Structure 1
Amino acid sequence: MSSIELKNIVKKYGDGFPAVNDVSLDIADGEFIILVGPSGCGKSTLLRMVVGLEDITSGDLLIDGKRVNDLAPRDRNLSMVFQNYALYPHLTVFENIAFPLRLAKGQHSDDEIRAKVQQASSMLELDEHLERKPANLSGGQRQRVAMGRAIVRDADAFLFDEPLSNLDAKLRGQMRTEIARMQRRLGVTTIYVTHDQTEAMTLGDRVAVLKKGVLQQVASPRELYEQPVNLFVAGFIGSPPMNFLPAEVKGSTLSLPFVDVEVTGELAQKVAGKDLVIAGIRPEYFKDAGLGDNVPGGVSFSAVVDQTEWLGNEQYAYIPFEAHEAVKGKLEELDRELDGEGMRTQLVVNLDARSRIREGDEAQLVFDPSLMHVFDPETGECLTRDDDKAAEIARDSEDARRAALERARAREAAAAEKAS
């Protein structure tokens, strides 16, 4: 296990464009960190620089305090799991997993290789497939073989490059659980690249959000969700994404398309002098007032629902609105940055499944304005971010990570003692 430190890492190609631009990141020993962002943001390039498949234009990469910029990939003792599995079709599952051990000629006896492969296959439930070839396996089984090959190497860190993108939705969910369980059990430092923010939110101890090669925010999933630093992070994290509404500033009142909201204290000072800001409200913060759910200090409004989607355990309602011309361009730009399709602006409301609101109805909705984020339309800065709350979330998340790691190591030690 190792700590990995990236110091002002830059990657420029022949045209001089920085695919990765001045990224600094400290990854603790045993930490599971996610690199996430839309297509082309530089996350895979950054991972390939860590493993040594891409040269670093400038900056330093340290593994356990040792600078490794000039080391070949084989000398960095890192294990990488690729998107396309990279299995050898002519080898059995056993030999695919054993391959890196065979490659280190003379370092492992046949008995050691057999024991290591057996341990990995048992962890990944591959015992009954050891004599099969990759062509006879499902996508999920192939991915587990690729993970098994990474495990047997006793590497200092695991690197995953969008390993689940070729799997269907059900398998992705199952494999997320397997990867999380494996990482906790082994306690190995892990860097995981994905464009799927659901994977990022469910797997990572911390998540690094990238945009056009620039690191936007590194934090626990909960901090990213509740205390984003800017408009981009707020829009990228969350499914369905946060609603962004133009809000005209009229004294101490923010006038949204559907309702006026009074602001006080520090926020009132921050918006003073501005004509317009962007209000961000997550879909689940809206409630159907007709159900009688109590929202202390809530602001209510009515709006005609254009479309609904009932999913059994929840329901979505879609309410179109016209974006203010002054922020329309900003919202369209943000949509492009988030790989959106440029659809019309609409409010997405995540309702309780009990709600009987249907398309064409005039819905009575209520939300707690204290949960609303407010952004500067010029800079994208989140004006409602609470640094103290963010620090508290960060401490809680780190404590939880350390506790989970200690539990995993205690289980491993107990299992090893029992086996001996």
Structure 2
Amino acid sequence: MSRIELKNIVKKYGDGFPAVNDVSLDIADGEFVILVGPSGCGKSTLLRMVVGLEDITSGDLLIDGKRVNDLAPRDRHLAMVFQNYALYPHLTVFENIAFPLRLQKGKHSEEEIRRMVHQASGMLELDEHLDRKPSNLSGGQRQRVAMGRAIVREADAFLFDEPLSNLDAKLRGQMRTEIARMQRRLGITTIYVTHDQVEAMTLGDRVAVLKKGILQQVASPRELYEQPVNLFVAGFIGSPPMNFLPARVSGSTLHLPHAEVTITGDLVEKVKGKDVVIVGLRPEHIKDATVETTPEHAVHFTAVVDQTEWLGNEQYAYIPFDADRAVRDKLDELDRELDGEGMHPQLIVNLDARSRVIEGDEADLAFDPALMHVFDPESGDNLTRDDEKAAQIAKDSEAQRRMALERAKKREAAKGGAA
């Protein structure tokens, strides 16, 4: 296990454009950190610089306090799992897993190699496939072989580059669980790259959100969801995504497309002098007031539903609105940054499964204004972020991470004693 520190890391190519721009990140021993962002944000480039497959233009990369910028990949003691698995088609599963051990000529006896391979294959439920070739395996099995090869190296850290992107949705869910379980069991420092924010939210102890090579926020999944620092992070994290609504400012009142909200305290001062702000509302924070209990201070409004989707345990309602011209360009820019399709803006509401709202209905909806976010349309900053709450979430998340690692160690120790 090891601690990995990135200090002001920059990567520039021949044209001088910074693919990664001044990224600093401190990854604790045994921590599972996700690098996430839309296509072209620099996340894979950053990972390749850590493992040594890309040169670092400037900045320092430290592993356990030692600067490794100029070390070859083989000397960094890191194990990488690639998107395309990188298996040898002519070798059996056993030999694919054993390959990094055989490269260390003379270091391991045949008996040791067999023991280490069987230990990894047992952990990944590959024992019955050890004599098969990769071409006879499913995508999920191939991914587990690639993970087994990383495990036997006994590396100081695991690096994953979009390892599940070639799998179908059901298998991705299963493999997410397996990777999370394996990481806890081994307690090994892990950096994982994905463009899928669901993977990021379910796997990581902390998530680093990148945009155009610049680190936007690094925090626990819960902090990113509840206390995003800006418009981009708020829009990227969450499925369905956060609703962004233009709001005209009139003293202590925000005029949204379908409702008016009275604001108080510091927020009144923060929006003073602005004509328009952007209000963010999560779909699940908007309720069907006819079937769900709403707080006393809830904001009620009615709106005609354009489309609904029923999923059994929940349903979604879609309500189009006209974006204020003053913020339309900003919302369009955000949509492009989030790899959107530039669709007509619409309010997404996550309704209780008991709701009977259908297309064409005028729905009676409500939301708690304490749960809404308000963003500066020019800077994108979250004007309602609560730094104290964010700090408490970070503290709680770190305590939970340490507790989970301790539990995993005790379970492994108990298994070893039983054996």
**TM-score interval, normalised by the smaller of the two chains:** over 0.9
Question: One-letter code of the match for 1:375?
Answer: F
Q: Name the SS of the counterpart of 2:290 in structure 1.
A: helix
Aligned to 1:17: 17
Task: Report the Cα offset of residue 292 of structure 1.
Answer: 4.3
Task: Report the Cα offset of residue 416 of structure 1.
Answer: 2.3
Aligned to 1:394: 394
2:294–2:366 CA contact under 8 A, matched in 1: no
1-side partners of 2:199 and 2:322: how far apart? Answer: 33
Question: One-letter code of the match for 1:36?
Answer: V
2-side partners of 1:354 and 1:94: how far apart? Answer: 52
Q: Name the SS of the counterpart of 1:34 in structure 2.
A: strand
1-side partners of 2:53 and 2:328: how far apart? Answer: 41
Q: How does 1:370-381 map to 2 (within 5 A)?
A: 370-381=370-381
Task: Report the Cα offset of residue 409 of structure 1.
Answer: 1.3
Q: Given the alignment of the two structures, is residue 210 of structure 1 paired with residue 210 of structure 2, yes or no?
A: yes
Aligned to 1:55: 55
Task: Report the Cα offset of residue 33 of structure 1.
Answer: 0.1
Q: Name the SS of the counterpart of 2:319 in structure 1.
A: strand
Query: Structure 2 stretches of 5 or more lacking a match?
Result: none
2-side partners of 1:403 and 1:201: how far apart? Answer: 19
Question: One-letter code of the match for 2:33?
Answer: I
Q: Name the SS of the counterpart of 1:290 in structure 2.
A: coil
Task: Report the Cα offset of residue 294 of structure 1.
Answer: 3.0
2-side partners of 1:113 and 1:414: how far apart? Answer: 24
1-side partners of 2:218 and 2:201: how far apart? Answer: 12
Aligned to 2:239: 239
2:97–2:149 CA contact under 8 A, matched in 1: yes
1-side partners of 2:12 and 2:89: how far apart? Answer: 35
Aligned to 1:266: 266
Question: One-letter code of the match for 2:31?
Answer: E
Aligned to 1:42: 42
2-side partners of 1:4 and 1:77: how far apart? Answer: 12
Q: How does 1:7-406 map to 2 (within 5 A)?
A: 7-406=7-406
1-side partners of 2:91 and 2:355: how far apart? Answer: 55
Task: Report the Cα offset of residue 282 of structure 1.
Answer: 0.4
Question: Which piece of structure 1 moves more, 166-175 or 406-415?
Answer: 406-415
1-side partners of 2:14 and 2:57: how far apart? Answer: 11
Q: Name the SS of the counterpart of 1:291 in structure 2.
A: coil
2-side partners of 1:308 and 1:204: how far apart? Answer: 32
Question: Which piece of structure 1 moves more, 251-260 or 267-276?
Answer: 267-276
1:169-225 Cα shifts (integer Å, max 9, x gaps): 000000000000000000000000000000000000000000000000000000000
Question: One-letter code of the match for 2:218?
Answer: V
2-side partners of 1:278 and 1:221: how far apart? Answer: 23
Task: Report the Cα offset of residue 45 of structure 1.
Answer: 0.1
| Number of residues of Structure 1 aligned to a counterpart in Structure 2 | 419
1:55-101 Cα shifts (integer Å, max 9, x gaps): 00000000000000000000000000000000000000000001000
Q: Name the SS of the counterpart of 1:239 in structure 2.
A: coil
1-side partners of 2:408 and 2:133: how far apart? Answer: 32
1:23–1:214 CA contact under 8 A, matched in 2: yes
- Root-mean-square deviation (CA), in Å? 0.6
2-side partners of 1:58 and 1:269: how far apart? Answer: 41
1-side partners of 2:41 and 2:296: how far apart? Answer: 41
2-side partners of 1:302 and 1:417: how far apart? Answer: 63
Identity across matched positions, percent: 82
Task: Report the Cα offset of residue 412 of structure 1.
Answer: 1.8
2-side partners of 1:274 and 1:334: how far apart? Answer: 20
1-side partners of 2:418 and 2:353: how far apart? Answer: 48
1:295–1:366 CA contact under 8 A, matched in 2: no
2-side partners of 1:73 and 1:51: how far apart? Answer: 6
Task: Report the Cα offset of residue 417 of structure 1.
Answer: 2.9
2-side partners of 1:292 and 1:21: how far apart? Answer: 47
Q: Name the SS of the counterpart of 2:191 in structure 1.
A: strand
1:5–1:26 CA contact under 8 A, matched in 2: yes
1:31–1:190 CA contact under 8 A, matched in 2: yes
Q: TM-score, normalised by structure 1?
A: 0.99
Q: TM-score, normalised by structure 2?
A: 0.99
Task: Report the Cα offset of residue 268 of structure 1.
Answer: 1.0
Query: Structure 1 stretches of 5 or more lacking a match?
Result: none
2:228–2:382 CA contact under 8 A, matched in 1: yes
Question: One-letter code of the match for 1:260?
Answer: E
